[in-house]
């Protein structure tokens, strides 16, 4: 674990020469591919019942023993697995969440991060830097979501990865903010309703409206029923660039606005502002990763590149959010902590100020 921390940050590498520290940063592609291969082979699942040798794992995963062993050795150097003195490999706290059958599993996200469509997009990052246009569109000659619709296997993996991420972030957001203050919430762009279901499960006195494209909301019924909240949710097929239903105490935008540049994000915020007309006590709740201060590590700065490369969107820091909100008739009323997922509570500013 310490080794991994040292490579990610300066803690254990400060004494190394600058050129070595710089080259360590280029190792990301190697580490990412190692994790993707081990996730594809489901090695963590095979180790769920106890340690195994490389030979045993090779048989179970239909892999070449020597090659698999060398890949596992790298993973163990980063604390993902443990290489024991007897040559067997065992799970660690990192590989526990690489299993497919545990709460909070990140296997699908690891698989998604290793897909060809992301690797090819990042391979064209220079195109984005020079033109300001999404690399994904330059590579595939279509936008990201059209590509997912036309490639069902890629779309299904993306949905599973986002669902796994949403479950993890939902718990963090619910622990940090009291959504129960609002008796009626609208989850705008809420997908199949996972986050709304988590909110309503935590707050049985609240009701919700799920708003998203028909192709997405059509799959919500089973999830809401399984969560036991279907009787408290109205599902409304819609588009957040169009008029939104009125009459809610709060409108939630979770992981929506980062997909869009400021112009398109402002258009979405304008629709929410219209829906809150005449409701000075109404709230907009933006759930996003809040980018932290300069010269400090936080994952939001990497996620921001994902948004840039895939959609032309962006993760934003507090000042950028305040500017965008002010331009669309909102103001931030809480003080969210940067460098993590956060709830930005916003109130509509009266037209007279």
Could you read off the pLDDT of 218-243 as tens digits, one per residue? 889 999 999 999 999 999 999 999 99
Instruction: Retrieve residue 49's tokens.
Output: 């019942």
Residue 6 has pLDDT above 70, yes or no: no
Share of the chain above pLDDT 90, in %: 82
Of 177, 191, 187, 265, the C-alpha closest to 232 is 187
Mean pLDDT of 132-154: 94
Last residue of one domain, picked from the residues 77, 97, 117: 97
Structural domains in the chain (count): 2
Residue 182 has pLDDT above 60, yes or no: yes
Q: What's the pLDDT at 12?
A: 58
Residue 143 has pLDDT above 80, yes or no: yes
Mean pLDDT of 149-175: 89
Last residue of one domain, picked from the residues 81, 97, 113: 97
Q: What's the pLDDT at 24?
A: 86
Whether residue 115 lies inside any domain: the answer is no
Identified catalytic residue from 147, 203, 248, 258: 258
Residues 76 and 173 in one domain: no
Binned at pLDDT 50, 70 and 90, residue 8 comes out as very low
Whether residue 174 lies inside any domain: the answer is yes
Whether residue 267 lies inside any domain: the answer is yes
3-class DSSP assignment, residue 134 = coil
Last residue of one domain, picked from the residues 71, 97, 123: 97
Q: What's the pLDDT at 1?
A: 36
Residue 174 has pLDDT above 70, yes or no: yes
Range of the domain at 259: 167-293+309-346
Mean pLDDT of 299-311: 95
Residues 92 and 216 in one domain: no
CATH code: domain of residue 287: 3.40.50.150
Q: What's the pLDDT at 129?
A: 97
Residues 80 and 175 in one domain: no
Mean pLDDT of 157-170: 86
pTM, whole model, 2 decimals? Answer: 0.89
Instruction: Please confirm, yes or no, whether 127 is among the known catalytic residues.
Output: no
Residues 198 and 337 in one domain: yes
Mean pLDDT of 174-189: 97
Binned at pLDDT 50, 70 and 90, residue 313 comes out as very high
Residues 83 and 204 in one domain: no
Binned at pLDDT 50, 70 and 90, residue 125 comes out as very high
Tell me the per-residue pLDDT of 54-79, one tens digit each, with 9 for 90 and over.
Answer: 999 999 999 999 999 999 999 999 99
Residues 84 and 172 in one domain: no
Whether residue 230 lies inside any domain: the answer is yes
The whole-angstrom separation of Cα 163 and Cα 157 is 10
Structural contact between residues 280 and 249, judged by C-beta atoms closer than 8 angstroms: no
Q: How far is CA 122 from CA 39, 119, 129, 138, in A?
A: 21, 5, 11, 11
Q: What's the pLDDT at 353?
A: 58
| Beta strand residue intervals within the chain, DSSP E | 81-83, 89-91, 184-188, 207-212, 233-237, 250-254, 283-290, 330-332, 340-348
Through-space distance between the first and last CA atoms of the chain, rounded to whole angstroms? 52
The whole-angstrom separation of Cα 95 and Cα 79 is 8
The whole-angstrom separation of Cα 194 and Cα 191 is 7
Q: What's the pLDDT at 14?
A: 73
3-class DSSP assignment, residue 204 = coil
* Angle of the 318-327 helix axis to the 262-275 helix axis, nearest 10: 60
Q: What's the pLDDT at 155?
A: 87
Q: What's the pLDDT at 57?
A: 98
Binned at pLDDT 50, 70 and 90, residue 250 comes out as very high
Binned at pLDDT 50, 70 and 90, residue 4 comes out as very low
Share of the chain above pLDDT 70, in %: 96
Of 276, 85, 179, 270, the C-alpha closest to 76 is 85
Burial category of 132 from C-beta neighbours within 10 Å (exposed 0-12, middle 13-18, buried 19 and up): exposed
Mean pLDDT of 135-141: 97
Q: What's the pLDDT at 116?
A: 93
Whether residue 268 lies inside any domain: the answer is yes
Q: Tell me the pLDDT of the chain averaged across its residues.
A: 93
Residues 289 and 189 in one domain: yes
Alpha-helical (H) ranges within 276-315 are 300-310
The whole-angstrom separation of Cα 38 and Cα 61 is 10
Residues 240 and 336 in one domain: yes
Structural contact between residues 155 and 216, judged by C-beta atoms closer than 8 angstroms: no
């Amino acid at each position: 674990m310490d080794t991994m921390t040292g490579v990610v940050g300066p803690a254990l590498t400060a004494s190394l020469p600058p050129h070595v520290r710089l080259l360590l940063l280029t190792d990301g592609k190697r580490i990412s591919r190692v994790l993707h291969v081990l996730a594809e082979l489901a090695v963590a699942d095979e180790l769920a019942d106890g340690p195994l040798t490389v030979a045993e794992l090779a048989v179970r995963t239909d892999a070449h023993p020597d090659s698999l062993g060398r890949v596992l050795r790298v993973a163990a150097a980063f604390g993902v697995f443990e290489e024991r003195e007897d040559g067997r490999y065992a799970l660690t706290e990192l590989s526990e969440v690489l299993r497919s059958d545990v709460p909070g599993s990140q296997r699908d996200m690891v698989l998604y991060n290793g897909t060809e469509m992301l690797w090819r997009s990042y391979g064209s990052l220079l195109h984005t830097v020079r033109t300001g246009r999404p690399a994904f569109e330059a590579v595939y000659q279509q936008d990201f979501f059209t590509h997912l619709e036309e490639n069902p296997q890629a779309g299904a993996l993306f949905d599973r990865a986002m669902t796994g991420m949403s479950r993890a972030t939902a718990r963090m957001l619910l622990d940090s903010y009291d959504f129960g203050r609002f008796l009626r919430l609208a989850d705008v762009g809420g997908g199949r309703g996972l986050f709304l279901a988590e909110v309503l499960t935590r707050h049985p006195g609240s009701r919700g409206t799920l708003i998203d494209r028909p192709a997405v909301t059509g799959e919500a019924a089973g999830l809401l029923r399984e969560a036991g909240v279907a009787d408290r949710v109205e599902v409304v097929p819609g588009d957040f660039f169009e008029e939104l239903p009125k009459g809610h105490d709060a409108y939630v935008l979770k992981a929506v606005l980062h997909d869009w540049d400021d112009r398109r994000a402002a258009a979405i915020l304008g629709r929410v502002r219209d829906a809150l007309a005449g409701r000075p006590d109404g709230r907009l709740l933006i759930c996003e990763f809040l980018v932290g201060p300069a010269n400090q590590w936080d994952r939001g700065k990497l996620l921001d590149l994902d948004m840039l490369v895939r959609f032309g969107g962006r993760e934003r820091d507090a000042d950028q959010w305040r500017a965008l909100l002010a331009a669309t008739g909102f103001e931030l009323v809480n003080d969210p902590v940067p460098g993590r997922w956060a709830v930005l509570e916003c109130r509509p500013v009266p037209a007279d100020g």
